[in-house]
Amino acid sequence: MRLQRVRRVQRAAVLFLALPACCFCQQPDEPLDRAEALETLERLAPAMPNEFAADMLLQISQLPGQGTRRRRELLEEAFAYASRVSDPRAPRLSLNWNRDTRAGHRQYASRPEIDALSLRVRIALAMAYFG
């Protein structure tokens, strides 16, 4: 189980690094097509761990230039990914935590707020804000 999770995170890291590499390999006279890059990221979402896919779709939906309908679709898809996240909520924060312990590592890793509860709250706030 843990090995599968590590491999999924490694695949996501490779995908995140591959897209900018493809963009930098373009010829200088070719303009970078932002819409095409965003579509590529959206297509890569199923290959990523659910936490990263939900967070990425949430961030894409908040970019300017997205229509209301498209934004709603992205947020609904992000919520679906967030519902499949394995960590239900972030660990409790303590004032004196040590990163050398397992609990300390879990607490430090939860700082990006990509646990299921934090993602759902962020998506719900985005849905309320964008209507």
- Cβ-Cβ contacts under 8 Å for 91 (sequence gap 6 or more): 103, 106, 107, 110
The pTM (predicted TM-score) of the whole model is: 0.65
Q: Per-residue pLDDT tens for 69-86?
A: 999 999 999 999 999 988
Q: What is the SS3 assignment for 78?
A: helix
Supply φ then ψ for residue 2, to 5 degrees. Answer: -65, -40
Report which of residues 117 and 94 the model is more confident about. 117
